[in-house]
Structure 1
Amino acid sequence: METPVFLYALLGGLFTWGLTAVGAASVFLAQEPSRKLLDGMLGFAAGIMLAASVFSLLLPGMEMAASQGMVPWVPAVVGFLLGGGLLRLMDRFLPHVHLVPGAQEEGIRTLWRRTTLLILAITLHNFPEGLAVGVAFGAAGLDPTGAATLGGAIALAVGIGLQNMPEGLAVAWPLRRAGIGVGKAWFYGQLSAIVEPLGALLGALLVTQMLYLLPYLMALAAGAMVFVIVEEVIPESQAEGNGDISTFGVMTGFALMMALDVALG
């Protein structure tokens, strides 16, 4: 095991967690950001995640698969669907409630408060982002084909960090409106992303232990992120009738992440 791989993965996970804390810190402002702004930011986050899934995970993974003599699309398709399936299983059993107005509680029934279930929903959906960061840095450090680069991994971490800011905001402000104090609302908002450094370390560990499965692992991380985008982020961004703003945000986020990956990768 090469120490720098784990160090870089941990730093990447801490970076994305830190930007969640920055977004959650908006509760210290005197006025809550408008719903239009939030929906545009959520669309922006979805666009970044979508582009990161394609340019930082799926395409390099297929290139690696081809260099290893595999049929390139096989690990991409298998891993992608497996990633979405795993998130669906977690979504099915972990108690949580989505941010969409009027959403019903999901998962195993509990007596936990709705605010706790809201935090769990964001925590559940932050894990694959951390996993993706760890897999990307692990691939950059250990992939002998050179398809995955350190610049590409950094671009992925930057992109996920940027899209975490509106997520931190989207968690902290509902808690503030529910009567929770500013300090606690910020604390719980940033706490929702604490799994990202842990997910990053797990992703790096999986890569170092199962290098031959790297194309599958990269596609798995991409599938998990796309599941989150389609099941949670985009519906929430369009739930209040700001579809045009949200869609423009998706386009902008996708374009920015695509440019980051090409420029740094």
Structure 2
Amino acid sequence: MTAQSFLLRAWLVFSTFTTVLSLASLSEDVIAWWGFIVDLVRAYRSLVDGLWGGLFGAFSLDLPRWTHDYLTLTSLMSTSILWALSRAGEQLHIGARSLWAVLRDTTLEFTVGGDALEHFTDRAHERLPAPMRPEAEAVVKHVARSTKTTGLVLDGLLAAAVLLACAILMPLLALPFLAYRDRLAHRRALKMFAARRAEIEQAGLEEQERDILVDAMVGQAKGHESFPALARLYHQAIRRQLVLYYAAVASIFLGLVLLNVLGQKISVALATAGAAKPS
């Protein structure tokens, strides 16, 4: 086992245990916890209250203490999603996706089609007859221009803000939002490819040059045709990882509830037996 794998497993154990304690603390008004479980919840609360209380106090905020449990829970859920992103990437052999990679690919890239236009330029230079005519060179440069616009920058920043809000307040909404951003990116790319192809066809080029450039742009568009299927597989893999994680949390919490019931029955039985002893 590598050091990275060991640290990941240690974090999963810690995250699962802390998530269970967060649920136990939140449900204290519903469930009368017994014995050492109360001690665990109190120890957990002393840590999270110190953390969130100090953070909120720095901004002169006085929030109810249940928000400490809720924010701890959402933080742990968000880290579990990041773990699922990484595991899904490994399973599909597309590489582990860091938080920065997710933000870059879904919100902060600010362009359309990724590096497809760079590939188009490379293919055009490989296939156009040399030496390339200045007219053809100008068309290639114009067609491969950046798609970055003020609107895309604003859209990306807004999407990043929404994703951050989901991570803090409602992590389960982050995955549907990421899936939506993937679909949006695909639609934008196809629309861009069609527009750039039309520009090539309308340019004053020789027939051979036009056919080569159109074929190069069509090749880039076809390269994106498999993206929706890959995105679906990717998000399915993410959901599978999260189901396993949440199933483990639910099982441990249920076990804690059963242990609590058993412990209370034992305590009552011991108290009854002690009271029944002759003095």
Structure having the higher Rg: 2
Q: Which has the higher contact order (CA 8 A, sep 6+)?
A: 1
With normalisation by structure 1, the TM-score equals 0.35
